[in-house]
């Protein structure tokens, strides 16, 4: 049986497509349907690793969790991971394919499009409904002939399209009606409903707006969704860190060490190519923690903990740290007692040296790192992606955790050598290296390094702070006043997903959505070019 399809498109980036796709996955799964998410092409450095080591976008992994199924590569057959302003690593079917600039990438549409359709076809054979997410706007006229993620997918799958407008940014009538009017007639027929998203205040104030949209657009308005505060779901795009809401940036001159706020002050460096920053969501949810992101040395203050996160461009971001003055600030902070932590690319930066013999990231052979950890990293052609479980070898970092296991995933180029490791891989750890010809036995069986009695440490393990016992033991060492939140990291995630779905179902009729699924678009399935 071939699954029915429903597609969420937005009038622009950040209109709420990912969140509403997540809500639909949860709501439809609650009705007893087998549901899977799909996004043909995603651009994000926030990646997730599936059980077989495949990389997909973080949003598709979250949507799979909302649907109650395991993430897989077919949910996001093409993932673009930006390495600079115009170049991205292209992940196809979960594995690195090539690095391309934008012009070369679009020229390869004929080569990549079959991967999109094959993945969608496989997914539709597994479930009852596939909820498809678009990207950007379907009315980007200059890309209409080459795009592989919006109307091309809707035409191929005969999906009922829900078009979402963001009233928070203003101009929602121009957003929704303008998008409809710019679509060619055959694409306009696919749009089966409009949704107004992110409304603040009394929803009845927009009653006349619904009538205007319905009358002028000729498309049903399914509802108006209110702004939902403090969901704390993983963000896909680093643009979320550039907005004040939910991201606590310390103004110049303000020092939390001398404020009335007695929570632990944890500062994460907002690297230009920051990746997988949802690593720190569990810390942000701790009542004893104030988590903030800093871009400049004068925003740093005197934090209790300073974290260098993952990055898609370690050497480029290391150079940025030096140029903006943060490199010296990090060294100074470590000297004066601040705990310094590096995850993945941030871990590499804390070492002594990074060798780049193939010049994979930059046109240099090597770079001196920050010198806070006794590790040396060498970049090679193989990319390690794996879900992993590790045994903690001693109590230096988090007292009481010796011999406990922690789980997460690794996703990095480069191998680091050290004599002071603190994590040992459990036997069930899975591993995948690309290219396929790489020696799988080269995957490290140990991970991490620490110094200064555990005040400076790092590792490659993404998701480390999602391990509740480790996180709480580490926070106790730091002097956290309350390190026992009401729910575990996973419970908190599930509760947030339920709250999102409840809000969606309160304002959008799921029965109306199901009726759309029972009446597919009349557009012929062969019209997919």
DSSP 227-250: P-----PPPSSGGGGGSSTT--PP
Architecture in CATH for domain 263-377+450-480 = 3-Layer(aba) Sandwich (3.40)
Q: How far apart (Å, rounded) are the C-alpha atoms in residues 151 and 138?
A: 6
pLDDT in tens, 477-526: 999 876 555 568 888 899 999 999 999 999 999 999 999 988 766 554 43
In three-state form (DSSP H/G/I as H, E/B as E, the rest C), the secondary structure along 153-195 is: HHHHHCCEEEEEEEHHHCCHHHHHHHHHHHCCHHHHCCEEEEE
- Tracing tokens 């390495």 back to the chain, one arrives at 83
Please identify which of the residues 25, 50, 344, 459 carries the catalytic annotation.
344
SS3 288: coil
Give the number of other Cβ atoms within 10 Å of residue 216's Cβ: 13
Is residue 321 within 8 A of residue 294, CB to CB? The reply is: no
Q: How far apart (Å, rounded) are the C-alpha atoms in residues 57 and 169?
A: 25
In three-state form (DSSP H/G/I as H, E/B as E, the rest C), the secondary structure along 349-409 is: HCCCEEECCCCCCCCCCEEECCCCCCCEEEEEEEEEEEEEEEEECCCCCCCCCCCCEEEEE
- Tracing tokens 């010049």 back to the chain, one arrives at 359
Return the pLDDT at 520. 66
pTM of the model: 0.87
For 256-296, where are the alpha helices, taking DSSP H only? Answer: 281-284
Report how far apart, in Å, the C-alpha atoms of 280 and of each of 266, 267, 422 are. Answer: 10, 10, 20
Q: How far apart (Å, rounded) are the C-alpha atoms in residues 248 and 250?
A: 6
pLDDT in tens, 1-57: 699 999 999 999 999 999 999 999 999 999 999 999 999 999 988 899 999 999 999
Mean pLDDT of the region 151-172:
95
Q: Is 344 a catalytic residue?
A: yes
Least confident of 245-254, 336-345, 353-362, 400-409: 245-254
Q: How far apart (Å, rounded) are the C-alpha atoms in residues 74 and 38?
A: 7
Return the pLDDT at 431. 52
- Whether the pLDDT of residue 527 is over 90: the answer is no
Return the pLDDT at 438. 35
Take residue 449 and report the two structure tokens written for it: 């390094």
- Whether the pLDDT of residue 379 is over 60: the answer is yes
| Residue extent(s) of CATH 3.40.50.300 domains in the chain | 4-231+494-518
pLDDT in tens, 210-253: 999 999 999 999 999 999 886 778 876 666 666 544 444 433 33
Query: What pLDDT band is residue 528 in, cutting at 50, 70 and 90?
Result: very low
Q: Is 27 a catalytic residue?
A: no
Mean pLDDT of the region 425-446:
54
Question: How many Cα atoms are found within 13 Å in the side-chain-facing hemisphere of 46?
Answer: 21
- Whether the pLDDT of residue 357 is over 70: the answer is yes
Least confident of 105-114, 324-333, 393-402: 105-114
Q: Per this entry, what is the length of the chain?
A: 529
Return the pLDDT at 23. 97
| Residue extent(s) of CATH 3.40.50.880 domains in the chain | 263-377+450-480
Secondary structure of the chain: what % helix, strand, coil (to 5)? 35, 25, 40
Architecture in CATH for domain 4-231+494-518 = 3-Layer(aba) Sandwich (3.40)
Supply the mean pLDDT for the chain. 88
Please identify which of the residues 97, 462, 466, 492 carries the catalytic annotation.
462
For 253-313, where are the alpha helices, taking DSSP H only? Answer: 281-284
């Amino acid at each position: 049986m071939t699954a029915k399809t429903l597609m969420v498109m937005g009038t622009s980036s950040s209109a709420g497509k990912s969140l509403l796709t997540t809500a639909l996955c949860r709501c439809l799964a609650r009705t007893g349907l087998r549901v899977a998410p799909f996004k043909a092409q995603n651009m994000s450095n926030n990646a997730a690793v599936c059980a077989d080591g495949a990389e997909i976008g973080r949003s598709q992994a979250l949507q799979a969790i909302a649907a109650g199924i395991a993430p897989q590569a077919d949910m996001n057959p093409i993932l673009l991971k930006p390495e600079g302003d115009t170049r991205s690593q292209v992940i196809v079917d979960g594995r690195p394919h090539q690095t391309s600039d934008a012009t070369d990438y679009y020229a390869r549409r004929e080569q990549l499009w079959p991967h999109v359709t094959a993945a969608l076809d496989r997914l539709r054979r597994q479930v009852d409904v596939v909820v498809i997410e678009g990207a950007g706007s379907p009315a980007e006229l200059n890309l209409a002939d080459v795009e592989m993620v919006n109307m091309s997918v809707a035409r191929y799958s005969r999906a009922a399209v829900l078009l979402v407008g963001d009233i928070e940014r203003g101009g929602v009538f121009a957003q929704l009606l303008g998008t409809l009017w710019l679509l060619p007639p055959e694409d306009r027929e696919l749009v089966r409903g409009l949704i107004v998203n992110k409304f603040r205040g009394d929803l009845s104030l927009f009653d006349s707006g619904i009538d205007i949209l319905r009358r002028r657009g000729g498309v049903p308005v399914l509802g108006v969704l209110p702004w939902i505060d403090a969901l704390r779901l993983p963000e896909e795009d680093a643009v979320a860190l550039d907005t004040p809401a939910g991201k606590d940036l310390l103004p110049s001159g303000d020092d939390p060490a001398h404020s009335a706020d007695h929570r632990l002050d944890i500062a994460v460096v907002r690297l230009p190519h920051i990746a997988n920053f949802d690593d720190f969501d569990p810390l942000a949810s701790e009542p004893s923690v104030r988590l903030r992101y800093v871009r400049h040395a004068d925003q740093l203050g005197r934090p209790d903990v300073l974290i260098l996160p993952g990055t898609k461009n370690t050497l480029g971001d290391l150079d940025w740290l030096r140029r903006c003055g943060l490199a010296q600030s990090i060294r100074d902070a470590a000297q004066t007692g601040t705990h310094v932590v590096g995850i993945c690319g941030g871990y590499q930066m804390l070492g002594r040296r990074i060798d780049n013999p193939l010049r994979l990231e930059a046109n240099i052979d090597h770079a001196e790192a920050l010198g806070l950890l006794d590790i040396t990293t060498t970049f090679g052609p193989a990319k390690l992606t794996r879900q992993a479980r590790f045994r903690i070898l001693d109590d230096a970092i988090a007292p009481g955790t010796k011999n406990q296991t922690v789980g997460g995933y690794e996703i990095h180029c480069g191998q680091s050598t050290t004599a002071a490791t603190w994590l040992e891989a459990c036997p069930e750890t899975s591993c995948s290296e690309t290219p396929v010809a790489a020696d799988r036995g080269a995957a490290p069986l140990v991970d991490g390094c620490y110094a200064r009695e555990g005040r400076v440490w790092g590792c490659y393990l993404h998701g480390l702070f999602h391990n509740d016992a480790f996180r709480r033991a580490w926070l106790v060492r730091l002097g956290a006043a309350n390190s026992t939140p009401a729910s575990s990291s996973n419970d908190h995630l599930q509760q947030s997903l339920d709250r999102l779905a409840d809000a969606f179902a309160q304002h959008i009729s799921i029965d109306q959505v199901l009726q759309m699924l029972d009446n597919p678009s009349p557009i012929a399935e062969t019209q997919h070019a």
